[in-house]
Amino acid sequence: MTTPEPAALQARARSFGGVAGSYAALRPTYPADAVEFLLGRGRALDVLDLGAGTGLLTEVVLGLGHRVRAVDPSPEMLAELAARLPAVATAVGTAEQIPTEDAAVDAVVAGQAAHWFDPGAAARELRRVLRPGGLLGLVWNTRDERVPWVGALGEVISDEARGHEADQAVVDRFAAELGADVEVVESAVVQHVTPEHVVAGIATRSYVAVMDDARRAEFLSGIRELLGEHPGTRGRTELELPYRTHAYRLTPR
């Protein structure tokens, strides 16, 4: 995987505030079975959702009966989270400077976020905030490009999206920094969306959010053209957009 330069990566990481409302409405949730694999069910844990964004993962963790606090660098994203989940405590912060006391939580989770973290600095903070026996759960949804029209969509956006999503190297680096054992499970989730929702969802991606207006309009027009012409989507008013979910449970030794 080709990794963006640090300045470009930081610009992309800061871009989510401007699309917070759309992000909350258009991004997929996480399957409960994948999150249950990370955290279990029945014994309530103190969980910190790191890079929580608008709370898509937070909501699933709450639904499994755990106590959650949410941390994100974007006040706009946390405002969306607070509006949807007012009982959740929130704080502005980063993986490299977690605004939480020592040994405060049983688990830290990150949904669609760990590729933004500096593994070395984040690992030191994770060791600080985790209680003995605590764990790190990393989860990503990625479009299932085994479906032909989704594969065609991936080809259209591949040059812009490179380095944006999950990569095994991210998990491996955290495992090395934490001296952690790694277990993984795969699940799936499907969004029922209109073609325009697909376009709007792509517009929430960081690589699109940092484009200038003209480039963004041109890029999204290409997505509309694909959806209008591909045999798997042409003439359809509702689409099933499938995602593969990979959940990684890292247990520091």
Give pLDDT, residue 11: 45
What's the DSSP call for residue 83? H
**For residue 149, how many C-alpha atoms fall within 13 Å in the half-sphere facing its CB?**
19
* Cβ(53)–Cβ(23) below 8 Å: yes
Mean pLDDT of 134-160: 92
* Cβ(248)–Cβ(140) below 8 Å: no
Give pLDDT, residue 21: 55
* Cβ(56)–Cβ(30) below 8 Å: yes
Q: Give residue-wise pLDDT tens across range 219-229.
A: 999 999 999 99
Q: Which has the minimum average pLDDT: 6-20, 33-47, 57-71, 173-187?
A: 6-20
- DSSP, collapsed to helix, strand or coil, labels residue 92 as strand
Bridge partners of 189, per DSSP, are 243
The two tokens of residue 54 are 């608008």
Give pLDDT, residue 15: 46
- Other residues' Cβ atoms within 10 Å of the Cβ of residue 9: 16
Q: Give residue-wise pLDDT tens across range 197-214.
A: 999 989 888 788 889 999
Looking at per-residue confidence, does 13 or 67 come out higher?
A: 67
Give pLDDT, residue 167: 72
Q: Give residue-wise pLDDT tens across range 175-184.
A: 999 999 999 9
What's the DSSP call for residue 24? H
Asked whether residue 195 carries a pLDDT value surpassing 60, the answer given is: yes
Give pLDDT, residue 12: 45
What is the distance of C-alpha 148 from the center of its chain? 24
Region label for 163, one of left (φ > 0), alpha (ψ between -120 and 50) or beta (otherwise): left
Q: Which of 12, 20, 26 is nearest to 198 (CA)?
A: 26
Give pLDDT, residue 162: 54
Mean pLDDT of 231-242: 97
Give pTM, 2 decimals: 0.86
pLDDT band at 165; cut points 50, 70, 90: low
Mean pLDDT of 76-98: 96
CA-CA distance, 40 to 43, in Å (whole number)?
7
Mean pLDDT of 180-196: 96
CA-CA distance, 193 to 155, in Å (whole number)?
20
The pLDDT mean for the chain works out to 89
- Specify the CATH architecture of the domain 6-145+162-192+240-252: 3-Layer(aba) Sandwich (3.40)
Give pLDDT, residue 223: 95
pLDDT band at 7; cut points 50, 70, 90: very low
CA-CA distance, 243 to 210, in Å (whole number)?
24
CA-CA distance, 55 to 83, in Å (whole number)?
10
* Residue ranges of domains in the chain: 6-145+162-192+240-252
Taking the CA atoms of residue 21, residue 29, residue 175 and residue 38 in that order, the dihedral angle to the nearest 10 degrees is 130
Asked whether residue 192 carries a pLDDT value surpassing 80, the answer given is: yes
Give pLDDT, residue 61: 98
Asked whether residue 18 carries a pLDDT value surpassing 90, the answer given is: no
Percentage of the chain surpassing pLDDT 90?
A: 77
